[in-house]
Each structure stands twice: as C-alpha cells, then as structure tokens.
Amino acid sequence: MNTKENQILESARHLGHLRRTGWRRAVVVGVAAWVAMAASPAAATAQADYTDQAVVPSPQVYVGSPDGGPEPTLPLWRTTTDERRTLWVYFLEPPPERPHFWDQTLRAMETWNEVGGVPLRFQRTRSAQSPDVEFRWIRQFEAHQAGTTDWETGGEGWLSSAVVTLATQHEGGTSMSDEFVLLVALHELGHVIGLPHSDDPSDVMHPGNRNMALSDRDVRSARQLYERLESEKVTGP
C-alpha cells in the first residue's frame, strides 16, 4: 500500500453510500475509490470460525428490521435446493500491463466461499455465456470510487445477475496495489451477495474498508440475509 492510499483512507470513511435506482436494478457505489486500501495484515480483525453457525442477536449484525428479521428490501439470490447455489463468475481479459489483475478477486471469492451458513458459493467460469456475475475493469472512475456493483433483478425481485467493475488506477494515475484490489473485491462481493454498507470500520462492508479478512459481523449479516429463505426454498426446477 502506498502513501496516497493511506492518506485517502481517512477521507474515504465518510464518503461511501448505497444508492438504489429502482426495484429491477440497483447500483452500489463500492469502496469509495479513493477508498483506500491502506490495510496492512496487522489492520485485519481477528476472525471466528466461519463454518460455525449460531443464533445472532441483532446488534451483532448490520442488516435486518428493528425486530431482528432480515431487511425486506435487499434483493437476494434465489436458492432452490438444500445445497449451496453456485454463482458462476466470468472475468473479462485483464489489463495488458497487469495480466494477474484478477488474482486478488479470486482470493476474495475463496474468502467468501469459506463462510458457512450462506447458501451461495462463487465459482469461476471461462464461458461468457450468461454468467451470474461478471467482473470488468476500468482505468479510473469519474467519481471518487474504486469499484461498483450493478444488480439486475427478475420479475419476482430475486437477483438474476450482477456486474462488478474495478478500477485499476487512482485519480492521479497511480496503479492500485494488490492489497487495495483485494479489499475492494472483498467489499464488492459482499454487495453481490446482497449486503449493504456497514457503519463499523472493523467490517469489510464499511465504505472505507481497510480489513483484509471478514469480521464476525460481516459473516453474521450475510447469514441473516438468507435465514428467512430456509422456509421458502423451492424444490422444483
């Protein structure tokens, strides 16, 4: 992480926001791009066992209605069996000067895949034909941001696809470090799952994320999003 990324982080804490534009399509402004990845391994928070499930008091999550139930307006992926649904992820060709640009995103996918109690898993596909999630890159955004997630929903309100775009450079043209890309990818994949922003800097879903590992609240919030589906799962095709 470079000096600029560290300086930017302090300002970015106050810039992130979640913006929705209608029911069928939502746009998430991810880690405010200059959202700085100033994370050093020491800055990452200690994590619990992701595979261990437990009943979670609402103060320990950042999603849900006042009565502790899941927030009804967050679009979710429909799960149809008792097994985890695979979300097929397609990557456009990386920037010519950074052939390994997507490596950090693959790491972020594996981090989310380790979370138990969430009926989704990310899997890379080499086919561009109708992936669930597509990753694209851009040199720089016009606005101060490092990544965006666009959601598409179907007629019944379920998520049908998502497009994540990551910047390769900061405003001034400085390349984003691998650590920065990892933090942005972790954050944007949380939006792909359906998570909103958190107001706690120790969470990956905070707009000014500096954590290279999911917090307990990130894990619990992701689980709570899908808890209500347990009694609504469809067994048909």
CA dist., res. 188 & res. 21, Å (int): 17
Residue 18: inside a domain: yes
- Nearest in space to 11 (alpha carbons), one of 25, 28, 31: 31
Q: What is the CATH number of the domain that holds 32?
A: 3.40.390.10
Residue 170: inside a domain: yes
Burial class (CB in 10 A: 0-12, 13-18, 19+), 156: exposed
pTM summary value: 0.75
Residue 51: inside a domain: no
Residue 15: inside a domain: yes
Neighbouring residues of 126: CB distance < 8 A, sequence distance ≥ 6: 90
Residue 150: inside a domain: yes
**What does R_g of the chain's alpha carbons equal in angstroms?**
17
Number of domains into which the chain is organized: 1
Q: Digits of tens for pLDDT over the chain (237 positions)?
A: 665 555 445 444 433 333 333 333 334 444 433 333 333 332 332 333 333 333 344 467 887 654 555 454 568 998 876 788 999 999 999 999 999 999 999 999 999 999 988 999 999 999 999 999 999 999 888 878 899 999 899 878 899 999 999 999 988 888 999 999 999 999 999 999 999 999 899 999 998 889 999 999 999 999 988 876 554 544 433
Q: Tell me the two tokens of residue 51.
A: 């595979």
Range of the domain at 118: 3-42+59-231
Residue 236: inside a domain: no
Residue 9: inside a domain: yes
- DSSP 8-state symbol, 149: E
Residue 48: inside a domain: no
